[in-house]
């Protein structure tokens, strides 16, 4: 089998704090004299029995990790490490997602918090050799008016290249709030040329997805896997050209599906969906980008289908058309290389 680390691809679903290496988290905590929960440092994290999984376990772990990110240096290190890790796994384009509100108290406000990340994204792109764009994400656990503030800030830094805001998202527990209340923020971002990339269709099913599609008008859905439960809805999403950011390991660790074999990747692909595989939060799920392609392989995708997934990730990215053409050619070259028995774990 061909080496999946050598496969050119784009990484479109990666959260800022959740992108951290365990070793980085431990170092930062030690520097500040902070004690971390054992499940964040013992390499088991959220790997628990199916009946013990769930959102609140995840959120507690994420909040504990986020508490160590208290400086500009820490924020820059996270961006740089994420770029380096993605580069090693063949990623040509990383679109990392952040809610700057969470880090604002330590760096002087939401504006410097975002500008630190954007600046380091540009520097890491230059130094590491991977394009790093930034998605600004509002949170469902905060007031929708705060999302409008974030959207206005994002609009000031809009673009498609490294170090620019390329997308506007909505994350956190999708069971919170009324989706339509965030439509004004997405309209602000959209008028600035920023793509809508909200979460939806993970913890809640088709009815919730209909609301997300109707009110937020996404070009990509963070997760969206629950569309597989409604063939008519799935067909409408596919026909609208909305891409899915599918994170198989995350779906299992959060208890959306009990086992890897239940992740409806095949259903989405058979429906003609554009699917970009993502790692979501490697710190907590202990599963990085290449691991998601390994899961696709274990779910029955051959190397041609694996290459098509990589093509989809590039097409669904918010990179320039020139960059996309170059990376598509690189994927074709990967597929044209001889098959071997050795492949990345």
Q: 254-274: per-residue pLDDT in tens?
A: 889 989 999 999 999 999 999
Region 205-209 average pLDDT: 95
CB 245, CB 223: distance < 8 Å: yes
Helix axis angle, 144-155 relative to 183-191, nearest 10°? 10
- Written as one string, the DSSP assignment of 211-245 is HHHHHH--SEEEE-GGGGG-HHHHHHHHHTT-EEE
Active-site annotation holder among 72, 115, 174, 202: 202
Is residue 202 flagged as an active site residue?
yes
CB 133, CB 318: distance < 8 Å: yes
Region 74-80 average pLDDT: 97
- How high is the pLDDT of residue 57? 72
Kindly report the backbone phi and psi dihedral angles of residue 132, in degrees, each rounded to the nearest multiple of 5, phi listed first: -120, 110
- How high is the pLDDT of residue 21? 94
Region 64-87 average pLDDT: 96
Q: 132-163: per-residue pLDDT in tens?
A: 999 999 999 999 999 999 999 999 999 998 99
- How high is the pLDDT of residue 15? 97
Measured distance CA(95)–CA(163) in Å, rounded: 10
At residue 44's C-alpha, the angle toward residues 37 and 289, to 5°, is 115
pTM of the model: 0.93
Measured distance CA(194)–CA(123) in Å, rounded: 22
**Helix, strand, coil content of the chain in percent (nearest 5):** 55, 15, 30
Q: Which of 165-179, 241-255, 276-290, 328-342 has the lowest mean pLDDT?
A: 328-342
CB 8, CB 327: distance < 8 Å: yes
Q: 22-65: per-residue pLDDT in tens?
A: 999 999 999 988 888 777 766 555 555 544 556 667 777 888 88
Nearest Cα residue to 207 out of 178, 182, 187: 178
Nearest Cα residue to 199 out of 223, 219, 217: 223
DSSP designation for 36: P
């Amino acid at each position: 089998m061909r080496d999946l680390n050598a496969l050119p691809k784009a990484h479109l679903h990666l959260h800022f704090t959740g992108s951290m290496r365990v070793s980085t988290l431990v170092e930062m905590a030690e520097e500040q004299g902070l004690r971390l929960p054992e499940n964040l440092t013992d390499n088991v994290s959220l790997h628990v029995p199916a009946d013990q999984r769930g959102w609140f376990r995840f959120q507690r772990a994420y909040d504990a990790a986020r508490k160590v990110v208290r400086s500009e240096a820490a924020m820059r290190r996270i961006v740089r490490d994420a770029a380096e890790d993605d580069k090693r796994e063949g990623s040509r384009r990383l679109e990392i997602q952040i809610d700057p509100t969470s880090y604002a108290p330590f760096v002087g406000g939401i504006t410097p918090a975002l500008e630190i990340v954007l600046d380091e994204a540009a520097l890491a792109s230059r130094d590491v050799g991977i394009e790093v764009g930034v998605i600004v994400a509002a949170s469902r656990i905060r007031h929708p008016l705060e999302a409008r503030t974030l959207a206005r800030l994002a609009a000031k830094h809009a673009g498609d290249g490294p170090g620019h805001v390329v997308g506007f998202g909505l994350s956190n527990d999708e069971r919170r709030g009324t989706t339509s209340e965030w439509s004004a923020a997405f309209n602000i971002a959209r008028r600035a040329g920023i793509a809508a990339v909200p979460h939806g269709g993970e913890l809640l099913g088709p009815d919730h997805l209909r609301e997300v599609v109707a009110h937020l008008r996404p070009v990509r859905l963070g997760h969206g896997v629950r569309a597989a439960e409604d063939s008519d809805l799935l067909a409408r999403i596919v026909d609208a050209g909305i891409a899915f950011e599918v994170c198989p390991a995350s779906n299992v660790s959060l208890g959306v599906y009990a086992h890897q074999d239940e992740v409806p990747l095949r259903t989405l692909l058979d429906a003609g969906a554009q699917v970009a595989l993502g790692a979501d939060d490697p710190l907590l799920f202990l599963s990085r980008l290449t691991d998601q392609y390994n899961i696709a392989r274990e779910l029955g995708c051959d190397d041609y289908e694996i290459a098509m997934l990589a093509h989809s990730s590039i097409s669904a990215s918010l990179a320039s058309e020139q960059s996309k053409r170059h990376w598509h050619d690189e994927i074709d070259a990967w597929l044209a290389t001889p098959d071997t028995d050795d492949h990345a774990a």
